[in-house]
A and B are shown apart, each in its own frame.
Chain A
Amino acid sequence: MKLSKIGLGIALALGLSMSAQAAEVEVLHYWTSGGEAKSVAELKKMLEAKGHTWKDFAVAGGGGESAMTVLKSRVVSGNPPAAAQIKGPSIQEWGEEGVLANIDGVATKEGWDKLLPKVVSDVMKHDGKYVAVPVNVHRVNWMWANPEVFKKADATVPTTWDEFFVAADKIKAAGMTAVAHGGQPWQDATTFESVVLGTQGPVFYNKAFVELDPKSLDSAQMVEALETFRKIKQYTDEGAPGRDWNLATSMIIKGEAGMQFMGDWAKGEFTAAGKKPGVDYICAAAPGTSKGFTFNIDSFVMFDLDNKDLAAGQNDLASTVLSPEFQEVFNLNKGSIPARLGSSMEKFDDCAKLSSKDFVESAKFDTLVPSMAHGMSTFSSTQGAIYDTVTEFYNNDKVTAKDAAAKMAKAVASATADL
C-alpha cells in the first residue's frame, strides 16, 4: 500500500512539474555539424525558453537520405516525430499521404501570408493550409572564385559561359585547377542546372525542370546545355569524383583552384577560414545567371500526432522558427537569407545582401526558379531520374549529349507516369 502511495506521489509530482502546455517535441533533422548544428542548438534553446522539451533526433548523411529512410519507417510504425526537416514538393507528397498536421492556426494569427513571399508560402502549404515552416532561402546559382588565382592567371571573373571557358583555359595554362568540383550526383546536378539556366534562360529552365515538358527535355537546347556542362570536366582535377563539396570549397580557399559552382552554404566555409567576401573570395552569380535566382528552401514539416500538448509544442516551434531572432541567427550561420520578408539584413555580409536583393527582383521578372538539383522543382522520383542521366552523361564519355537528352525525357516520363 505504501509503495503505491509513493508511486502516486511521484506521478503527481511529474504531472505537476509539466505545465498543461509543455510538450516533448521530437525533431528529426540532418544538421549535425558545424554552423548548422550550432543553429539547431539555438532553436532548441528558444523552444525550451517557451517551456517545452526538445528531443533531438539527428540522422546525418547523404543530404538527408538516411533521415528520409528513418522518417518513413517512423511514419509507417505510426510513431512519427513531431517535426521533420522536409522541403519542396516532397511536402506535397507527404501531405497526400494524410500524415501532416495543420498549423494554419498559428499561421493566421501571425499573418504568415504577409510575412512570406508567395513562392515560399506556396511550398509550405498543402491544400491551402500551412503544414510547414520555412527556415531560410538558399541561392544555388553561385560561383565562388579566388581572386588571387585569377590574378596569377591573368584572367577575369566570367559573366557568360564563353568568358568562362576563356578564363578556365588561362587558369589551367597557369598550372592550377580551374574548377573545384566534387563528383557526386547532387553536385553534378547543381552545376548542370546553373549551366541550363545560364545558357538557355529561365523560360526554358521552367519548361524542362518544372513543367517537365518532354519536348524541352529532349531538345537541341538541352543538348547544347549538356555539351557545355561536360566541357567543364576537363577543367577539374583527378581527385574530383566522390569528393565532398566542402573539400572542393577548401581548394578555392587555399588557392589551389579558381572557381566552384555551389550554393550559398559554401560561404560558411570561407567564413570559418577567416576569409572576407570581396577581398579574399568573390561571390558571383554563375555565368549568364546574374538576373536569375535558383532557390532552395529548407523547412520543417509538422506531423499529425493527435495530442493537444504536442500540437501546442508544434505551434510554438513553428512560431519560433519564423521569429525574426531565429531567422537572423540561423541564416547568419548558414550563409542563406531569411525567408521572412522585411528581415533586417544589417548584420549580413555583401554576398547575402546581394542574394536578398536578387531574390526580390527576380521574383518580379519571373527569373526566380526552383532548384532541380535540390528537390525544389519536382518529386524525388523525377529528381532522381534526372540525376541519373546527368551524372551518367558527365562521367561516361561514351554517352552522347543527344542520347542523354533522349534518355532524360524517357526517364522522367517513366518516373512521373501514373500507374
Chain B
Amino acid sequence: MNASSKPKLSFGEYLPKIVVAPTFVATLIFIYGFMLWNAWLSFSSSRMLPKYDWVGLKQYERLFANDRWWVAAENLLIFGVLFIVTCLVIGLFLAIFLDQKVRAEGAIRTIYLYPMALSFIVTGTAWKWILNPELGIQRMFREMGWESFSFDWLVNSDMAIYTVVIAGVWQSSGFVMALCLAGLRGVDENIVKAARVDGASMPAIYRRIIIPGLGPVFFSALIVLTHIAIKSFDLIVALTGGGPGYATDVPATFMYTYAFTRGQIGVGSAASMMMLMAVVAIIVPYLYSELREKKQ
C-alpha cells in the first residue's frame, strides 16, 4: 500500500513531500529550534534579556533550591491528577445519564459544552466572584438564612488549588462528556440486549460491558486533558493570580513570572526545560502505541 511501491513521475513522487514541507520546516524551526534555543538559555546566565554564555547547571541548581518551584510542581501534580480524574468521572456519568433518551438532549449537551468556547480572560472575573466568600456562593447562602454556611477555599492557602480544579473541570468536563456520549452511541445494542436477556442488571451491563468498551475514548480524553493540565496558565492567572501567597503557582506561571516579570530568564528557561521533559515523558508512551498500531 505504500506510495513508493508504485512507478511514477519524479515530480509526482515528490509532490506529497513538497506539500508537507512547509509544515515540516515550520515544526523544525518554530518548535524544535526554539526548544533548543530555550535549552541553551537554561545553561546561560541570562537575566533581563537573553545572553549567550555558558554557566553549566547553575540555573538548575538555583531552580531546585527554590521553594516556590517545588510548590508549583506539587500543585501541578495535585491539580493534574484531580482535574483529569474528575473530568473523566463527571464526563462519563453525565454521558450515561444523557444517554437515557432524555428530552431536550441537544440543549443540555450544548449547556455542558459551551464552557469550552470561553477563555478564562472572559470568565475569570465571574469565577472570582462566585468563589469569593464575601461576594459569591457563601454570601448567597448566608443571606438566604444558612448562617453557618462556609465556602472559603479561594482564600485559604491549603484549599485554593481545589478551586482551580473546580473551574478547570467546569471548562473541560463537557468535552469529555461529548466524547463519552459518542462512544456510548457506538456500542452495539445487540450485545446489550443479549445481556439483558441473560438477566444482567443495567448497572452490571455498564460496569462489565459498556465502560470497558470505551477504552479508546478514555485514552483520547486522557491525552487532551493532560495537555490542558500542563498548559494551564490563563486559568491560574485569572482565578487566583497564583495566590494566596504563591499557594496556587504552577510551572507555567512560575516560568512566566521568572522569565518575564522578574528578569531571571535563566531560571525561567530551566523551569520550562523541566516542563518539556515532563511532556515528553507523558507523550512518548502515546507515540509508542501509535506507531505499534501502524505495524499491525
Contact = CB atoms under 8 A, between A and B. Distances in A.
Real binding pair: yes
- Which 7 residue pairs are nearest across A and B when measured between Cβ atoms? A239-B134, A241-B155, A395-B245, A419-B45, A384-B262, A69-B260, A395-B244
B246 A415 contact: no
A154 to B, nearest CB: 26
Given A185-B243, A237-B134, A381-B47, A419 B261 contact: no
B72 to A, nearest CB: 11
A395 B247 contact: yes
B48 A96 contact: yes
B276 to A, nearest CB: 20
Interface in B196-252: 240-241, 243-247
Interface stretch (A117-125, A158-166, A350-358, A386-394): A386-394
Nearest to A382: B262
Contact of A407 (B67, B135, B263): B67
Nearest to A390: B245
Given A76-B50, A239-B135, A418-B45, 13 more contacts: A65-B260, A68-B261, A72-B48, A72-B260, A185-B246, A238-B134, A242-B155, A381-B263, A381-B264, A394-B245, A414-B66, A419-B58, A419-B266
Contacts of A75: 49
A391 B48 CA distance: 24
Contacts of B128: 242
A384 B135 contact: no
Contacts of B240: 242
B49 A185 contact: no
A393 to B, nearest CB: 8
A396 interface: yes
A93 B260 contact: no
15 contacts: A65-B260, A72-B48, A72-B260, A93-B47, A94-B48, A185-B246, A238-B152, A242-B154, A242-B241, A380-B262, A381-B47, A384-B258, A391-B246, A396-B247, A415-B264
A407 B157 CA distance: 19
Contacts of A414: 62, 65-66
B86 interface: no
Contacts of A384: 257-258, 261-262, 264
B49 A396 contact: no
A395 B8 CA distance: 71
Contacts of B67: 388, 392, 407
Contacts, number: 102
A31 interface: no
Contact of A183 (B62, B243, B256, B260): B243
A394 B66 CA distance: 18
Contact of B55 (A94, A242, A379, A419): A419
A241 B261 contact: no
Nearest to B62: A414
B181 to A, nearest CB: 36
A240 interface: yes
Given A238-B133, A388-B68, A184 B260 contact: no
Contacts of A388: 67-68, 245-246
Contact of A419 (B48, B59, B155): B59
Interface string A5-35: 0000000000000000000000000000000
Nearest to B63: A414
A185 B154 contact: no
Contacts of A239: 132-135, 155
A185 B245 contact: yes
A127 interface: no
Interface string B254-296: 0011101111101000000000000000000000000000000
Contacts of A306: none
B263 A396 contact: no
A253 B263 CA distance: 37
A226 B65 CA distance: 23
A346 interface: no
Interface in B116-167: 128, 132-135, 152, 154-155, 157
Nearest to A383: B262
Contacts of B48: 72, 93-94, 96-97
A411 B246 CA distance: 15
A68 B49 CA distance: 12
A392 B47 CA distance: 24
Contacts of B155: 183, 238-242
B225 to A, nearest CB: 26
Nearest to A90: B263
B261 A65 contact: yes
A90 B266 CA distance: 17
Contacts of B264: 381, 384, 415
Interface in A220-256: 237-242
Contact of A381 (B65, B246, B262): B262
